[in-house]
Structure 1
Amino acid sequence: MSYDALLWLSFGGPEGPDDVRPFLENVTRGRGVPPERLDEVEQHYQHFGGVSPINALNRAAIEAVRGLVDLPIYFGNRNWHPMVEDTLAEMKAAGVRRALVFPTSAYGGYSACRQYDEDVLRARAAVEDAPELVKLRQFFDHPLFVASFADAVRAAAARLPGDDYRVVFTAHSVPVSADKAAGPPEAGGHLYSRQVAEASRLVAEAVGAADHDVVWQSRSGPPQVPWLEPDIVDHLDTLYDKGVRNVVVCPIGFVSDHLEVVWDLDTEARERAQELGMGFARAATPNDDPRFAELVAELVAEHVADAPPRKLSDFPALGCTVDGAFCATRCCEPVKRPGAGR
């Protein structure tokens, strides 16, 4: 089947101080996040001049992929410019009729996968006679994804004194109810946390780590709503009490240095480790690793050249949809929040 383009679909981030508040309002619209929480997160962005690294990192990754795929690449975001609706209108004007979509998330679950389906539906509804869009699959267990993180863990460990360290994998926390609802019902749900655990296991195995932990970061909901735990900062205290004195923290849930990485890990977690007297090294995300561009090219080749999927686990390759038509399993349904629909 032929395709005219590749749409690189991401979360988005502010690129100046005046962008921060409207960006955060886009992210949290309809979620009941209190203004004081927005005030707190806004200060995290302003600490870095109001600029998230995510857009620049996406543009750099796109440039790397351009040399590997024979398709024009367009860039669109969910929450900030370039908005996906505007990008889709640009694609239509350029004569694109059918395009692949690469979402910058390796995992399943509502926020990590299904919400990108909703982005596709929203964008196509906003653009008359919009191009057909085919979203690529999840890639948490792709050999290149695992190899990139494995080398990053090794490089981080080399910055620590000696060989005695604990590998701690982190990913963005989500509400427990949302994780339970993620995945085909017959499989028992919890697709997101299970995939994160599997990716962590594969990387730990690749580096020869005898033990490792999977923890969470960046929760943003009200305190009365249970989210996946433990939090990375709290876990550092637990490890210290157990006698661990050096940690390698690997942000397995992220493909680039989002603000959640540079603030929650490089700032808050690092500071807590220093207070405890623990050695702390943060493994790099794929960012501009050439293998990440190769991974995207391989996902594209699965569609344009019938290339066989490369995977290191038995988890199904979910997430591939056409025009936002959700997976046949109807997995990862959004969890209805209190008061929703009023």
Structure 2
Amino acid sequence: MAKRAVLLLAHGTAGSLDEIPEYLRNVVSGRPMPQHVIEEIQHRYSLIGEPKGHSPLTDLTLQQGALLQAEIGAAVYVGMRNWRPYIADVVKQMRADGVDEIAAICLAPQNSRTSVGLYRRAVLAEAAGIKVDFIEGWADEPLLADAFADRLRGVHQQLSRETGQSVAVIFTAHSVPCRTIQTPVVSEGQPVLWPTTGAVPTPDPYAVEAKHTAELVAERIPEITAWYFAFQSQGASGGPWIGPGVEATLDALAAEGVKTVLVQPIGFLCDHVEILYDIDIAFREHAAKLGIRLERPESLNDSPILTQALAKLARESFARLAG
């Protein structure tokens, strides 16, 4: 009988300020990173975490794995793309533990073929002889929307009571370079960047899926009468990144006289620097300069409903593997 296990896949994060240069090299696949960018990232990390400088992403993801393991009664492993525990090392450990079949769940629910594709490649590169069911995207999973709505509902109700009106919500997801999601031009001798259907390239689904998750969350809270979508945490690499950005959205809302907003990042499943610094510090400071109070609900982190969502995905994956 096959021994099945779950592999949760996440971005990874440096464990200390000293590790950030090496971590950033992993993120950009070894390309040179300007020193001023490294120092800026170190500064951001220095303002978050307990102790300061420690991102909780790895700890929280391991906790999510433990909660899922308790829920489904099967082994759950956690692998990171850009830091320890690296995906390759974890898959090797799974093989050593006798795992025959892997249900791989990417903890980035909205599928971008470039980023999620890197997770897939990392798993399959070490999985020779192990059967893998790779879940590429689960942006429309009802329990995912339920989990976000559960975190958002109470905060929205409280702020709406305080202000005497329904508070506007900005849903966010991580921005990506425009070049990574544009439909590639097929010409003779030029490689296609991702799989296509027939001879016609299919567009990357990321932006559409991110907005769809936001729509599903908003549908669950009828009291929300105005919501917006923005992309956050644009990187330092050259070229345009998809938008609109959060700052530009806040500028537009300020021009409309909005005084209070809630920001909920629906592309992230736990706290890390893009939430604890980008939202809690940078966006909040930008909003304050505009006369806007900015709040956010608690991240999913140890959400029981998120655990249920992951358990559902795992059981469905095990069923496919058994078939």
Q: Shorter chain as normaliser: what TM range?
A: 0.7 to 0.9
Which residue, out of 251, 266, 278, partners 2:265?
251
5+ unaligned residues in a row in structure 2: which ranges?
A: 184-193
Q: For residue 213 of structure 1, report the CA deviation from its aligned partner.
A: 1.0
Partner amino acid, structure 1, of 2:5 = A
Which residue, out of 229, 232, 236, partners 2:243?
229
Tell me the matched-pair count: 302
Q: TM-score under structure 2 normalisation? A: 0.86
Q: For residue 2 of structure 1, report the CA deviation from its aligned partner.
A: 4.3
Between the aligned partners of 1:110 and 1:50, the Cα distance in structure 2 is: 31
Mapped pair 1:40 → 2:43: no
C-alpha contact 1:164 1:246 (8 A) present in aligned 2: no
SS at match of 1:102: strand
Pair 274,159 (structure 1): closer, same or farther in 2 beyond 3 Å: farther
C-alpha contact 2:170 2:230 (8 A) present in aligned 1: yes
Partner amino acid, structure 2, of 1:174 = V
Mapped pair 1:15 → 2:15: yes
Q: TM-score under structure 1 normalisation? A: 0.81
Structure 1 counterpart of 2:225 = 210
Between the aligned partners of 1:53 and 1:247, the Cα distance in structure 2 is: 25
Deviations 1:110-143 (A, max 9, x none): 344212112113334xxxx553332124211111
Deviations 1:142-172 (A, max 9, x none): 1111011112222222342223321111110
Structure 1 counterpart of 2:99 = 96
Q: For residue 3 of structure 1, report the CA deviation from its aligned partner.
A: 4.3
Which residue, out of 302, 307, 310, partners 1:296?
310
Structure 2 counterpart of 1:169 = 171
1:253-332 superposed matches below 5 A? 253-305=267-319
SS at match of 2:137: coil
Between the aligned partners of 2:262 and 2:201, the Cα distance in structure 1 is: 32
C-alpha contact 1:137 1:299 (8 A) present in aligned 2: no
Structure 1 residues 26-35 or 135-144, which shifts more? 26-35
State percent identity of aligned pairs. Answer: 29
Deviations 1:209-268 (A, max 9, x none): 233211011111345x11111211222121101111111111011111121111110110
C-alpha contact 1:183 1:189 (8 A) present in aligned 2: no
Pair 179,156 (structure 1): closer, same or farther in 2 beyond 3 Å: farther
Mapped pair 1:64 → 2:67: yes
Q: For residue 33 of structure 1, report the CA deviation from its aligned partner.
A: 4.5
Between the aligned partners of 1:20 and 1:32, the Cα distance in structure 2 is: 14
Between the aligned partners of 1:214 and 1:286, the Cα distance in structure 2 is: 19
Structure 1 residues 135-144 or 189-198, which shifts more? 135-144
C-alpha contact 1:245 1:278 (8 A) present in aligned 2: yes
Q: For residue 28 of structure 1, report the CA deviation from its aligned partner.
A: 1.6
Structure 1 counterpart of 2:142 = 143
Between the aligned partners of 2:248 and 2:45, the Cα distance in structure 1 is: 23
Q: For residue 297 of structure 1, report the CA deviation from its aligned partner.
A: 0.9
